[in-house]
Amino acid sequence: MSNGFIIRVFFSSTTIGGLKGRKGLEPVCYSCEKSMGVARDSEVRVLVPSEVMPLFFSAELAAKELGVGFEAIDINRMSIVQKLSEKTNRKPVPRVSVGEDFLVGSPTKNEIIRFYHQISP
């Protein structure tokens, strides 16, 4: 049944840690006291907000049932040009995208499947 469409979930992650330093930008873990705030890559974590998880599960189940691909795309990991494109086109985050069309809110698996059938030829 696959016709080339992929179900994509766009979301915005939360980062625990940050960047600072005298020699340039170094990753910083604010909860790491022993290393004076300097973090290794494994200590800087990216968290998916809990309100987005039901959206992930619904989209993944819909993709499996339809036999199409599933992608989770973190807006914060995009390049500056891609982020600017997202903002200028005023696309909401989080959202479920199929081709150029998208759903917002918290659609169920069945709503995503219905949406997929509406836009697929």
pLDDT in tens, the chain (121 residues): 456 689 999 988 765 555 444 555 544 444 444 444 444 444 445 567 788 889 989 999 999 999 999 998 888 888 888 888 888 888 888 999 998 899 998 899 999 999 999 988 7
Q: Which of 28, 20, 13 is closest to 83 using CA atoms?
A: 13
81 found inside a domain: yes
pLDDT of residue 77: 81
Spatial separation of the C-alpha atoms in residues 60 and 92, rounded to whole Å: 20
Domain count, the chain: 1
Please check whether residue 60 is in contact with residue 107, taking contact to mean a CB–CB distance below 8 angstroms.
no
20 found inside a domain: no
82 found inside a domain: yes
| Bridge partners (DSSP) listed for residue 102 | 97
Structural tokens at position 71: 């992608």
- Domain, as residue range, for 55: 6-13+48-119
CATH number for 106: 3.40.30.10
Q: Which of 39, 49, 33 is closest to 18 using CA atoms?
A: 39
Q: Residue 55's CB: how many other CB atoms inside 10 A?
A: 25
88 found inside a domain: yes
30 found inside a domain: no
